[in-house]
Homo-oligomer: A and B are copies of this chain.
Amino acid sequence: MIKPIDLKQITINEGFWKEKIELIKDKVIPYQWKALNDLLEDTEPSHSIDNFKIAAGIMEGEYHGMVFQDSDLYKWLEAVAYVLNIYKDSELESKADEMIELIGKAQLPDGYLNTYFTVKEPDKKWTNLKDWHELYCAGHFIEAVVAYYQATGKSRGIEIASRLIHHIESIFGPEEDKMKGYPGHEEIEYALIRLYRITKDEKALKLAKYFIEERGKEPKYFKNEAQKRDDIIDFWERANKDYAYYQAHKEVKNQEVAVGHAVRAVYFYTSVAALAAETGDRFWYEVSERLWENITNKQMYITAGIGSSEYGEAFTIDYDLPNDLSYTETCASIGLAFWASEMLNYTIDSKYADVIERAIYNGTISGMSLDGTRFFYVNPLEVWPRAVENRHDLRHVKPERQKWYGCACCPPNIARMTASVGRFMYSSIEEKNKIYIHQFASSEAEINLSCGDVKLNQKTNYPWDGDIEIDVNLGKALTFSIYLRMPSWCKNKEIYINNKKIDESEVLLRNGYVVLNRLWNNGDKIQYNLEMKIQRVHSNPKIWRNAGKIALQRGPIVYCLEEVDNGSELTDIAIPKNEKLRGEYNPDLLGGVYVIKGTAKRSKIKTDDLYFGGENELINTPIIAIPYYAWVNRTPGEMLIWIREM
């Protein structure tokens, strides 16, 4: 069975991700803590901790905030757990312990846990699964305590979660006497499987499977519960469209294309993949795979952004990928990476790890400023600020990252993804003595195989350099296989073992991985050199807006033009086909980035005419492209990924 390497056994020790993780630890988590304690100025108070105190009976007052406010605390807790995997911080750990105790006190004797309903609407529990996020909050709590247990070994949270799950399981399920509900916002399905992996509590797995299978069945639960509430709303007239928003238009096993709210969708599909991985049931893999193929081949931006419409924050149709109007929520790309990692737990194929790489270096971390203080929900691929500020259909796009939001989903999601980025890097099949290296970063990993324990020491300047060095540390010589992902962007590679080049004809490739199977000795050194060239990427002509345009990519990094480097009217810039683009690493720019430079063309005339005949004379113009994720960390202005080629 394929197994990701436990985060406790991975140490990211320098470079790109180390710096990002430190930012989470030093900036984001303390900021988030202030938010939870209502200590931030100019921001809506969270009230989340107070709500728990009131529910626990240790404070007087009223509930405040959104119906899903509990999840603010849970998301902080999950990020904290990942940081504690990496750093000893007893102060932080005791804060977290205290919060778990508080949460436990807010739990009702029957196991129910949700402060909104406990404090404010005790009679309305479980009456509106579609909108009221009880199961969503439960899911975030479960994910948090799973992560916290893995980091600290402390099981208090798991106990609370188990009681909560047993309570939920007593109400919902396939049995005749139970309600046939499922969450409006998927999240708990995956959380339950994650919990099952620790507790082996069959009830958790069964409940997850029930939620996955029940979703979309006729008669529709959301309609039934609304009728019970006597809700007279227009929801039902628009039902088909609305059910699709929730991925509840039909059973997932019959879904062919990804639809509806993109974050909900990928959280759901992640759970389907996890169910496949956990049960080994190919049926669920195929359900997941069909949706995976639809998204990644027809509905995904080059940044791994998904959700091309603001309306419903949703998928639209195949090849509809406008660069300015997109929603491409940070959380959706994060969810896509989680999903990919669960696909890799079922089967090894580099296409999943390729998408993880595309996501973690582009459309996810673009959501956070380089100093860790400002955030994007929406990650468009081009921005003309004046339009964004004046067009109603672009009002969801912000020309600059914003401070913490009242409805805070993306910032804590970046925190938990970044602090746990190690989860994407390694996996193994212990019984078959196979190790997979999916992602490249300076790190140490301890991996237990049947034949014995392996410690790998990976050194690289990735993503700025494709050279990767791996030291194999062993107690004794062992025979096992190391699988190294060959990224889809890489055309040429070289492999050396102990400084001896392996002839290309002898390199075995399996599902996109280079296979190195041999008797390894302690101290063996692998050099895996990926040729990292500046690439011009074209789009399928079916993508209406990208015709005649290229995106610049180098390694996994997608580039963009910014006004601060290239002047305004960025769409006027065209890169000649024969222009030799060059680049260099600039340690002083944007925290250290490789920039791409070249000479392009733009209009000579600064005409006042709106339209004009005759030749549009062109002149040379120097251009500088920077990594997309780092845009608008200097003077705000226009930004463009897809550049005209001529």
Residues of A participating in the B interface, judged by any CB pair closer than 8 Å: 296-298, 300, 302, 309-312, 316-317, 320, 322, 325, 384, 386-387, 390-393, 489, 535-545, 547-548, 551, 569, 571-572, 574, 602-603, 606-614, 616, 644, 646
Contacts and interface: CB of A to CB of B under 8 A. Distances in A.
Given A312-B392, A537-B612, A541-B571, 4 more contacts: A387-B544, A539-B611, A541-B602, A548-B571
A39 to B, nearest CB: 30
B610 A539 contact: yes
Given A309-B391, A548-B574, A540 B320 contact: no
Contacts of A572: 541, 547-548
A610 B539 CA distance: 6
A610 B309 contact: no
A537 B612 CA distance: 5
B320 A387 contact: yes
A391 B297 contact: no
Contact of A320 (B316, B317, B391, B607): B391
Contacts of A296: 610
A153 B296 CA distance: 70
Nearest to A558: B611
B540 A610 contact: yes
B541 A316 contact: no
A95 to B, nearest CB: 41
Nearest to A489: B613
B610 A298 contact: yes
A391 B316 contact: yes
Highest count of chain B CB atoms <10 Å: which of A296, A311, A393:
A393
A5 B356 CA distance: 71
A82 B640 CA distance: 51
Contact of A540 (B312, B543, B607): B607
Nearest to A644: B548
Contacts of A574: 547-548
Given A320-B391, A611-B302, A612-B537, A646 B603 contact: no
Contact of A386 (B302, B317, B541): B317
A616 to B, nearest CB: 4
A613 B311 contact: no
Contacts of A571: 541, 544-545, 547-548
Contact of A603 (B317, B322, B541, B545): B541
Contacts of A322: 387
A257 B537 CA distance: 41
Contacts of A542: 569
Nearest to A550: B616
26 contacts: A300-B610, A309-B391, A309-B392, A310-B392, A310-B393, A311-B392, A316-B390, A317-B390, A320-B386, A320-B387, A320-B391, A535-B613, A537-B611, A537-B613, A538-B612, A538-B614, A539-B610, A540-B610, A540-B612, A541-B569, A542-B569, A547-B571, A547-B644, A548-B548, A548-B572, A551-B611
A540 B387 contact: no
A300 to B, nearest CB: 7
Max chain B Cβ within 10 angstroms of own Cβ: one of A298, A311, A541: A541
B602 A320 contact: no
Contacts of A392: 309-312
Contacts of A386: 317, 320
A643 to B, nearest CB: 10
Contacts of A610: 296-298, 300, 539-540, 543
Contacts of A298: 610
Nearest to A553: B613
Nearest to A645: B616
A603 to B, nearest CB: 5
Contacts of A325: 391, 393
Contacts of A539: 610-611
Contact of A613 (B309, B320, B390, B536): B536
Nearest to A320: B387
Given A310-B393, A548-B646, A538 B387 contact: no
